[in-house]
Amino acid sequence: MPHAQTWNAAPPTFRRRWNRNAQAALGFAAVALVWGVITRQVFMGAGVDETLAGAEVPDIPVTLLTVASVAGRFTGLALEAAFYLAWWRSWGAAFRFGRFFAWIAGLSLIDAWALGLRSIAREHGGAVATWLAPVVGIDLWRDGPAGSASSLELAFATLGLTTLARIGLTAHAQARETGGRLWKPLLLTSVLWLVCRVVTWWTLDLARGASPMP
Amino acid sequence: MRHVTGAWFRWVGSAALVVACAGALIVLGVLWRRDRARVWEEPRFRAQQFVRLAGSESNDKSREWWLVAVNPRCPHCSQHLAHTLVARRAQPGVRVGILLVDTPKPPAAESFANVGVDGLWWDERETWRRRWGHRIYGETMVFDGGGRYLRTLPPGFDRPR
């Protein structure tokens, strides 16, 4: 049998699955690329390159740091998806990890977009920062010398409309998976976000002691 | 809601997840509460408190002493020290010193010979961490000429936020 015929003879479900996997791989690659570009810009803006250049450690290129950061972000997203999987499965709901992971990886682009806007706001300051603050993070309203922000302020720094959109859409993705109503996943996602912020606040305080935050 | 075949142990699973998360949060909260309740000593720069490795005495006629907390294994500390030295240029009467922290044995003073600081001390008794409660390497503690604490500048303080 010719190869083409063998391919055509494959069951449609296999082809559909192959197409779906290829699409998912392309989607993940696109998300990783966007995160890579944004993260690199943030590192360069923060002067990481010059900081590393002056360090007495083996020279670590910013590209390597960017790759590590993107890998870390995807690990975080996988953990987030795993938590929701464990939660909804424990309540007896059908929940597919891969599909949900792909959803929240896509939704993370909202965070990437917000991060990019925050860099622009910090660069321009003034009116740009004032107007973007409700969208990408209330800390843009704060005016003070470096190190004067408390850990609580830093933990909730990114609270804005993009955060609310991310919470709402993550809840919507869960509702799609479980087939249930929106309010339960919305409550769960909101509580989890709040808990994560509180953990960040306490961890920052434990890390800094009496030192001011950089 | 679509349900897969289930049993009572699913409730145990969700309860275990909630208990594990709540337990971890409570442990962190207790640690945080205890740490924040600690009363730290106000820093004071007295030369006899530290082991002087190089440079002048602290209580001289300088207007301010800027003491940079440096750990020899900290990869960013040299850059933060360089930032502090650059910022000092605009501040007449300010002297910059290095306080080597969290190190059981200080590196040889010769390794800092070309750094351009006015003093080098080793915090042998871990005063910086255990009595003052400071924990971030690369920060700059500012004291007046008499050793009285004024403020602490975070690492990279001269860089715009």
* Percent of chain B's residues with pLDDT above 90: 43
Strand partners, B66: B96, B142
Name the pairing type of β-strands B149-153 and B94-100: unpaired
Other C-beta atoms closer than 10 Å to the C-beta of B49 total 18
Q: For residue A146, what pLDDT is reported?
A: 66
What is the spatial distance between Cα A69 and Cα A84, in angstroms, rounded to a whole number? 23
Beta carbons of B68 and B97 less than 8 angstroms apart: yes
What is the spatial distance between Cα A168 and Cα A186, in angstroms, rounded to a whole number? 6
| DSSP secondary structure letter of residue B144 | E
| Amino acid letter for position B76 | H
Q: Write out the DSSP string of A172-187.
A: HHHHHHH-S-SHHHHH
Are B135 and A207 inside 8 Å of each other by CB?
yes
Of A92, A206, A214, the CB nearest to B4: A92
ipTM of this complex: 0.83
Contacts of B13 in chain A (CB under 8 A): 86, 89-90
* Pairwise pLDDT comparison (A193 vs A214), residue with the higher score: A193
Are A92 and B159 inside 8 Å of each other by CB?
no
- pLDDT greater than 80 at residue B119: yes
| Amino acid letter for position B82 | A
- pLDDT greater than 80 at residue B57: no
Contacts of A44 in chain B (CB under 8 A): none
Give the residue from B152, B159, B156, B150 showing the smallest Cα distance to B64: B150
Residues 6 or more apart whose CB falls under 8 angstroms from that of A63 comprise A40
Of B10, B32, B40, the CB nearest to A92: B10
Q: For residue B27, what pLDDT is reported?
A: 97
Chain A residues interacting with chain B (CB cutoff of 8 angstroms): 47, 50-57, 86-87, 89-94, 122, 145-147, 178-180, 195, 198-199, 202-203, 205-214
| 3 state DSSP class of A85 | helix
| 3 state DSSP class of B71 | coil
What is the spatial distance between Cα B123 and Cα B69, in angstroms, rounded to a whole number? 9
- pLDDT greater than 70 at residue A52: no
Give the mean pLDDT of A116-121.
86
Average pLDDT, chain A: 85
What is the spatial distance between Cα B50 and Cα B70, in angstroms, rounded to a whole number? 14
Of B10, B132, B154, the CB nearest to A90: B10
Give the mean pLDDT of B96-111.
86
Give the mean pLDDT of A161-165.
95
Name the pairing type of β-strands B64-70 and B140-144: antiparallel
- pLDDT greater than 50 at residue A84: yes
Among the residue ranges A175-179, A205-209, B55-59, the one predicted with the least confidence is: B55-59
Structure tokens at A21: 């996997």
Q: Rounded to a whole number, what is the largest CA-CA distance in chain B?
A: 80
| 3 state DSSP class of B44 | strand
Give the residue from A103, A87, A107 showing the smallest Cα distance to A95: A87
Entry pTM: 0.81
| 3 state DSSP class of B123 | coil
Measure Cα distances from B161 to A46, A127, A143, B53, B55 in Å.
9, 16, 10, 34, 33
Average pLDDT, chain B: 85
- List the Cα angle A135/A139/A145 in 5-degree steps: 150
Contacts of A211 in chain B (CB under 8 A): 133-136, 139, 152, 154
Give the residue from B125, B128, B154, B131 showing the smallest Cα distance to B38: B131
